[in-house]
Amino acid sequence: MGNSDCGEFRLHLLRTWMLYRHGVIVHVATRQQRLVAALAVKGPSLRSHLVGLLWPEYPDAKALESLRVSMHLVSRQLPGLIVNDGPMLSLSDRVDVDLHTVRARLRDFRSVTSEVCAAALLGDLRDARLLPGWYDDWVVFEQGRLQQERLRAFTVIAMQSLDQGHCETAGAAAEAALEIEPLYEAAVRILIEGQLQHGNPAAALRNYQRYQEKLEEDMGLRPSDSLTELVTGVLAGQAHAAKERPAPANTSRLRGKPLLNHT
């Protein structure tokens, strides 16, 4: 494999495709990027699988030739990056892939033990979008898969943070979930509950009304009764306060008249 001649690689697939060697950015042509990305996302793969994945519109012979050319160019530019094991291709185990790091955190994640831990995980996951701007079918599938994994993590963080009384972290996690699924009622509920616990009923009501309007506009539906009940007390309190508020004095009759009648 010639590992003694090659440096360490860092491959970024989140937010953008970027490859570093010895800490220096390496510029790679688009066709070779797609091959490297496929091996990073899918893991060790048969050549026959890769040609169908990367060149589905090509006849088999042309697709195999495209793969052969891409392999030759990667091996010449970046020796040691791809391991060639006959019919099987894979990335070298010396390649550090950001997607693998995030997936490991998502796989091992069960609960947040502190607010600091929750905030750190949120920071790592919130912008972890896979290859934005890539529209190959296999990439779109993997983008959706990662999105759902992030959505589950955000929901767990939000629920556990709320249970622990960390309302701001719960709100941030709920908002991150809503960036993925704007009509996800479970996240809306956590956001509203956090704002009510934090003593901010006006914000809770605004978020409910925003969700109500979007749900009606997009789906023709209304929020669930249980969600509506969360803000019923807020609405009732506002109505009561308005009823109890003294009416402003009617000064129109006094206009132009002296306040005191001096004799």
User: Residue 46: pLDDT band by 50, 70, 90 thresholds?
Assistant: very high
Question: What is the pLDDT, as a whole number, of residue 248?
Answer: 54
pTM above 0.85, yes or no: no
With a cut of 70, say whether residue 258 has pLDDT above it: no
Q: 83: helix, coil or strand?
A: strand
**How far apart are the C-alpha atoms of 33 and 134, rounded to whole Å?**
11
Contact 154, 187 (CB under 8 A): yes
**How far apart are the C-alpha atoms of 35 and 41, rounded to whole Å?**
10
The residue assigned the tokens 């990667």 is 74
With a cut of 70, say whether residue 262 has pLDDT above it: no
The 3-state secondary structure of 188-207 reads HHHHHHHHHHCCCHHHHHHH
Share of the chain above pLDDT 90, in %: 70
**How far apart are the C-alpha atoms of 207 and 141, rounded to whole Å?**
31
The residue assigned the tokens 């919130």 is 126
Using N-to-C axis directions, what is the helix angle for 185-197 and 225-244, rounded to 10°? 40
Burial category of 255 from C-beta neighbours within 10 Å (exposed 0-12, middle 13-18, buried 19 and up):
exposed
DSSP state of 255: T
Taken in order of first residue, the domains within the chain and their CATH numbers are 3-97 (1.10.10.10), 109-240 (1.25.40.10)
Question: What is the pLDDT, as a whole number, of residue 117?
Answer: 82
DSSP state of 142: H
User: Residue 244: pLDDT band by 50, 70, 90 thresholds?
Assistant: low
Long-range contacts made by residues 123-132, C-beta under 8 angstroms, separation at least 24? 125/150, 125/153, 125/154, 125/176, 126/176, 126/179, 127/14, 127/15, 128/14, 128/15, 128/102, 129/14, 129/15, 130/13, 130/14, 130/41, 130/99, 131/13, 131/16, 131/17, 131/37, 132/15, 132/16
Whether the CA torsion 51, 17, 109, 94 is positive or negative: it is positive
Question: What is the pLDDT, as a whole number, of residue 109?
Answer: 77
| H helix runs in 112-166, sequence order | 115-126, 137-163
Model confidence over 162-216: pLDDT tens digits?
A: 998 999 999 999 999 999 999 999 999 999 999 999 889 999 999 999 999 999 9
With a cut of 80, say whether residue 156 has pLDDT above it: yes
**What is the separation of C-alpha 155 from the centre of its chain, rounded to a whole number of angstroms?**
11
Question: What is the pLDDT, as a whole number, of residue 118?
Answer: 84
With a cut of 80, say whether residue 225 has pLDDT above it: yes
With a cut of 50, say whether residue 4 has pLDDT above it: no
User: Residue 238: pLDDT band by 50, 70, 90 thresholds?
Assistant: low
User: Residue 242: pLDDT band by 50, 70, 90 thresholds?
Assistant: very low
CB atoms within 10 A of CB 157: 28
Q: 245: helix, coil or strand?
A: coil
Rounded to an integer, the average pLDDT of 41-53 is: 96
With a cut of 70, say whether residue 5 has pLDDT above it: no
Model confidence over 55-103: pLDDT tens digits?
A: 999 999 999 999 999 999 999 999 999 999 989 999 999 999 999 999 9
Model confidence over 92-145: pLDDT tens digits?
A: 999 999 999 999 988 877 777 777 888 888 988 999 999 999 999 999 999 999
Ranges 29-38, 112-121, 162-171, 236-245, most confident = 29-38
Sequence letter at residue 209: Q
With a cut of 60, say whether residue 261 has pLDDT above it: no
With a cut of 50, say whether residue 257 has pLDDT above it: no
Q: 169: helix, coil or strand?
A: helix
**What is the separation of C-alpha 113 from the centre of its chain, rounded to a whole number of angstroms?**
21
